[in-house]
Amino acid sequence: MTDLSAFPITARWPAKHPDRIQLYSFPTPNGVKVSIALEELGLPYEPHAINIGKDESWTPEFLSLNPNGKIPAIIDPNGPDGKPIGLFESGAILLYLAEKTGKLIPADAAGRYETIEWVFFQMAGIGPMFGQLGFFHKFAGRAIEDKRPLERYRDESKRLLGVLDRRLVGRKWVMGNDYTIADISMLGWVRNLIGFYEARELVGFDDFANVAAWLERGLARPAVKAGLEIPARS
C-alpha cells in the first residue's frame, strides 16, 4: 500500500485510498477547476473537503501542503519517477494533470504555450478581478460608500470579458475545436460571476454572446456538471 505519511495533511484528512490522487479542495471557482479536470481525465482520486468557511485552509496541516493557504492542493502518489508529489495553485495543478496524461493540452509546442497563456490570463486577470468584483458587489464591500473600487473592478471585468469574447469569435473553445485546461480554468469563474456573484447586469454579460455560448457548452459537459459539486460541501 502507498505510504503518504510523509505529508502531514494526511493526519487530519486521512486517505482511504492512498493509491489515488488526493484532492484537498472546496467547490469554489478555483477549487472546481481541478475537480473538473480530474473528472474529464478519468483519473482515480479521493476528494477531501477543506471548509474555507471554517478557516480549515489555515490549519497547520493544510499549510504544510499549501503554504499560501488557498484551495486547491493535491498529492499524487504516482508523481514523477513514481514518487509522491504535492502541488498547490490551481493553474500549476491543471498543467501537471494535462502533461501527466497527455490530454486537455495540445501536443505541439506552440499550441501548448498558447494554452498556458490563456490559463495565465485567468490566473492573473479573470480570477482576481471577478473575485474582487464579487466582494464589492455582493459581500462586505457593498457597505463601502465609496463606489470607486466597485466601478474599477466592474470596468476591468467587462474588459476581460471582452478579451475572452473576441478570442471566441469563430471558436467552439478557447483553443478552437479542442477543449483544454484553458477552458476549465475559466468556466467556474464566469459561471460564478453571473450566478453566485449576481453581476450579470452589472457587467452587461448579455453583450458578450460568444462567452455566453461558450459557457453554455461548457456547463453541459457531464464532467463539468459533476466537478462543480466536488468535494461536497457537507
Confidence (pLDDT) at 2: 87
Is the pLDDT score of 1 beyond 70? no
Quick check: 55 pLDDT over 70?
A: yes
Residues 86-91: contacts with CB under 8 Å, at least 24 apart: 86/7, 90/30, 90/31, 90/33, 90/34, 90/123, 90/185, 91/119, 91/120, 91/122, 91/123, 91/185
pLDDT in tens, 81-91: 999 999 999 99
Compute the residue count for the chain. Answer: 234
pLDDT in tens, 19-33: 999 999 999 999 999
Distance from C-alpha of 29 to C-alpha of 222, rounded to nearest angstrom: 17
Across the range 69-84, mean pLDDT stands at 97
Task: Give the three cell numbers for residue 56.
Answer: 480549515
Which pLDDT belongs to residue 91? 97
User: At residue 112, does pLDDT exceed 70?
Assistant: yes
Classify residue 195 as exposed, middle or buried by CB count within 10 Å of its CB (0-12, 13-18, 19+): exposed
Measured CA to CA, the distance from residue 197 to residue 180 in angstroms comes to: 25
pLDDT of residue 192: 97
Among 18, 139, 159, smallest CA distance to 78 is for 18
**Average pLDDT, stretch 63-88?**
97
What pLDDT, on a 0 to 100 scale, did the predictor assign at position 45? Answer: 98
pLDDT tens for each residue of 152-211: 999 999 999 999 999 999 999 999 999 999 999 999 999 999 999 999 999 999 999 999
* Averaged confidence pLDDT in the chain: 97
d(CA 161, CA 165): 6
pLDDT at 214: 98
Cβ atoms of 49 and 62 closer than 8 Å: no
pLDDT of residue 234: 67
Amino acid identity, position 66: N
Do residues 157 and 204 lie in contact, with contact meaning Cβ atoms separated by under 8 Å?
no
pTM value is 0.96
129/101 Cα distance (integer angstroms): 31
Distance CA 16, CA 10 (A): 10
Closest CA to 137 of 154, 121, 155, 157: 154
Q: What is the pLDDT of residue 116?
A: 98
Q: Count of alpha carbons within 13 Å of 161, Cβ hemisphere only? A: 28
- Closest by CA position to 192, among listed 130, 149, 139: 130
User: In the chain, how many H helices and how many E strands?
Assistant: 10, 4
**Per residue in 120-144, pLDDT tens?**
999 999 999 999 999 999 999 999 9
Give the amino acid at 129. Answer: M
Taking the C-alpha atoms of residue 94 and residue 35, their distance in angstroms, rounded to an integer, is: 10
